[in-house]
Amino acid sequence: MTADAALTAGFEAARPHLRAVAYRMLGSIDDAEDAVQEAWLRLSRGRTENLANLEAWLTTVVARICLNTLRARRIH
């Protein structure tokens, strides 16, 4: 399995967990999906060779994206 394929498989395995975290934080399925997709984009663009725990990294990224979304809602 190539590194890209392993990364994709790891992301897909974590997707239900990530969606659940984002939904609990944002309260919207659509917003949760957007946060998970943004995490995928960041993962696919980033340097991933030193990731020790992909699911933990993705969970952290999704949580930060959700927090930024909540902050933006509060400002508007």
- End-to-end, the C-alpha distance of the chain in Å comes to 45
Tokens of 34: 């957007």
Domains and CATH numbers, the chain: 3-75 (1.10.1740)
Q: Return the pLDDT at 55.
A: 97
Q: Tens of pLDDT along 18-62?
A: 999 999 999 999 999 999 999 999 999 988 888 899 999 999 999
Query: What sign does the dihedral 58-23-40-15 (CA atoms) show?
Result: positive
Residue 74 pLDDT class (50, 70, 90 cuts): confident
Report helix, strand or coil for 37: helix
